[in-house]
């Protein structure tokens, strides 16, 4: 990793995104060989030692995985309430990988896991409208007018309006099965949207995040994402960030 800019060096450790690294550097929280550096463009040499908040950081090879999260597990590294986390399923060798976004305990489906801080930032930052696709079931027949309310935007918390694209896949008098695409990343957004119009979500599964899909994965299973797929994902993100 010779000749790397300091912000890129920190991001490549998986600690944070490059933009967050810029903040840490400008705030005086980064030192190289014992000297505080305030320049994100400072060039780190092969033998330099970089510390963030007095902790040594080193670049790591980026890893990318798809994981099919089962119900009953929360998406976090640690839980002080003793609940089961996705890391109870994943091998110890993946403990350093972070989930891209979250799925609540009762939800299932695709999680991307990586130590690429820049990619995590691009996939989750609110200003970058990355599509996330879900299959959702509600145990009731929902009218077109009610679905249009969600599509046009509903208030899920004071001052927070959520919206989604919705396609009905199956409907009868007892249930509505939908494909929902989000471009926002609010906490429990889909569940809260349906609660706002008087319905409870019974099943929620993420099937796609940007260009990465859940195809070929069984519940609880994980697989590396192929380099070609990562290239396609990064090209896709570059296109949306330029729009």
170: CATH: 3.30.70.1560
pLDDT of residue 63: 93
Q: 181 with 133: CB under 8 angstroms?
A: yes
pLDDT, residue 223, reads 97
Same-domain pairing of 152 and 201: yes
Q: Which of 57, 74, 100 is the last residue of a domain?
A: 57
Do 223 and 110 lie in one domain? The reply is yes
Measured on CA atoms in the order 195, 130, 40, 58, is the torsion positive or negative? Answer: positive
Provide the pLDDT for residue 18: 84
Claim to verify: residue 46 and residue 19 sit in the same structural domain: yes
Same domain, 102 and 75: yes
Question: Which residues have a Cβ under 8 Å from the Cβ of 117 and sit 6 or more positions away?
Answer: 10, 11, 12, 13, 14, 15, 16, 17, 18, 20, 21
d(CA 96, CA 15): 10
Q: Which of 104, 118, 139, 172 is catalytic?
A: 104
**Owning domain of residue 152:** 132-209
CATH number, position 114: 3.30.70.580
Q: What is the pLDDT of residue 64?
A: 96
- Supply the DSSP string of 107-131, one letter for each residue: -EEEEEEES-HHHHHHHH-TTS---
* Residues 138, 181 within the same domain: yes
121 and 140 fall within a common domain = no
How far, in Å, CA of 42 to CA of 21, rounded?
12
What pLDDT, on a 0 to 100 scale, did the predictor assign at position 60?
A: 78
Let me know if 104 is a catalytic residue: yes
Residue 15: what pLDDT?
A: 84
What digits encode the pLDDT tens for the residues 174-203?
999 999 999 988 889 999 999 999 999 999
Into how many domains does the chain fold? 3
pLDDT at position 1 is 43
Q: Which residues of the chain, if any, have pLDDT below 50? A: 1
Token pair in block for residue 119? 């990619």
pTM over 0.85: no
Burial of 46 (0-12, 13-18, 19+ CB in 10 A): exposed
Check: CB of residue 122 under 8 Å from CB of residue 114: no
Is the CB of residue 85 less than 8 Å from the CB of residue 75? yes
CATH number of the domain where residue 26 is located: 3.10.290.10
Same domain, 147 and 204: yes
Do 52 and 148 sit in the same domain of this protein? no
The pLDDT of residue 8 is 86
């Amino acid at each position: 990793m010779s000749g790397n800019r300091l912000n890129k060096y920190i991001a490549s450790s998986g600690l944070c995104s490059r933009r967050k690294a810029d903040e840490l550097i400008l705030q005086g929280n980064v030192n190289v060989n014992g000297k505080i550096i305030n320049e994100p463009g400072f060039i780190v040499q092969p033998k330099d030692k970089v510390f963030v908040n007095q902790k040594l950081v080193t670049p790591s090879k980026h890893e990318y995985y798809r994981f099919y999260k089962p119900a009953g597990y929360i998406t976090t590294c640690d839980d002080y309430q003793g609940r089961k986390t996705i890391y109870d399923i994943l091998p110890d060798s993946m403990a350093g990988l972070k989930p891209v976004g979250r799925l609540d305990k009762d939800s299932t489906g695709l999680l991307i896991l990586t130590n690429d801080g820049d990619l995590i930032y691009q996939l989750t930052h609110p200003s970058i409208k990355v599509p996330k696709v879900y299959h959702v079931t509600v145990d009731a027949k929902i009218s077109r007018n009610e679905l249009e309310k969600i599509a046009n935007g509903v208030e899920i918390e004071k001052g927070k309006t959520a919206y989604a694209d919705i396609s009905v896949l199956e409907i009868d008098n007892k249930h509505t099965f939908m494909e929902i695409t989000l471009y926002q990343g609010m906490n429990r957004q889909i569940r809260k949207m349906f609660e706002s119009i008087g319905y409870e979500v019974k099943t929620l599964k993420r099937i796609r995040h940007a260009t990465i899909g859940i195809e070929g994965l069984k519940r609880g299973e994980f697989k590396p994402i192929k380099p070609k797929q990562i290239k396609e994902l990064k090209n896709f993100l570059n296109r949306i960030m330029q729009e």
